[in-house]
Amino acid sequence: QFQVQAAKVTMPPVTVGTKQITKVAGETVTLPLGVNGGLSQVFWSIFVNSTYIASYRKGTVNLDWHPQYNGRLDLDTSTGDLTIRNLTKQDARVYKAQVTLSNFKIRLQQHLSNLPPVSEIQTPTEVLLPPKITVVSNQTKDGLRRLELNCSSMAEDVAFTWQVNPVTVNIFKLGSSREMYFKYNIMQGNANFTCTTTRGTDSTSSLYQDHPSKFL
């Protein structure tokens, strides 16, 4: 939540406004002051005791006040805006700014919240591509079709399952679920073999159609 509190010095009171600032860890946030010229100095601080994290005074910018923010801050000397990069959950807190213009001061407070831990950020998941079915061996003899198929996937940590049509095809597992041996009567006609790979809630399949008549 963004709260502005202005203390009049020689100018009329500055309008009080409210703005919600919500980010997730790893992103960049800019805490706006919106000063439009005449900036003499600005001090950004945290905690009740106003521990400085960034300052601009007498033409000099200092961004090394606090080790937690080293290398992650930018301070716009024209507007007073403070930018924090690569946010972490420890950055979720109240930020205070004291600004001195040519003839009045502004005290401003901003609340940066809702920063989940980096481990909770949802990163793009690898797309699960369809598996590849390879014919290891095939043989047709005495009216029987014997077929060995291998199913492979470029993805890791996937489970393999097979479905066949017609259901009268005999299935024999060879070591792992990736490789199967099938036997069926060629009088049944063509047969379809589907290999499905599953990872979590994602799954994808590939189909191999066997035409035993081509081998007669």
Which pLDDT tens digit goes with each residue over 151-195? 998 888 899 999 999 888 898 887 788 899 999 998 888 899 999
Mean of the per-residue pLDDT values of the chain: 78
pLDDT of residue 121: 36
pLDDT of residue 88: 86
Domains of the chain with bracketed CATH? 18-118 (2.60.40.10), 132-210 (2.60.40)
pLDDT range class, residue 72, cuts 50, 70, 90? very high
Find all residues with CB under 8 Å of 77, minimum gap 6, and list them. Answer: 39, 56, 61
User: What confidence tens digit (pLDDT) does each residue in 120-143 have?
Assistant: 333 334 567 888 999 999 888 888
Per-residue pLDDT for 79 more than 60?
yes
Percent of the chain having pLDDT more than 90? 26
Helix/strand/coil for 83: strand
Per-residue pLDDT for 18 more than 60?
no
pLDDT of residue 162: 93
Q: Record the pTM.
A: 0.45
pLDDT of residue 136: 92
pLDDT higher for 103 or 187? Answer: 187
Q: Among residues 91, 150, 131, 126, which one has the least CA distance to residue 200?
A: 126
Residue 168 per-residue DSSP state: T
pLDDT of residue 83: 94
Residue type, 66: H
Per-residue pLDDT for 19 more than 60?
no
**What is the rounded distance in angstroms from the CA atom of residue 163 to the CA atom of residue 193?**
6
Q: Among residues 126, 45, 51, 48, which one has the least CA distance to residue 82?
A: 45
Rg (CA), the chain: 33
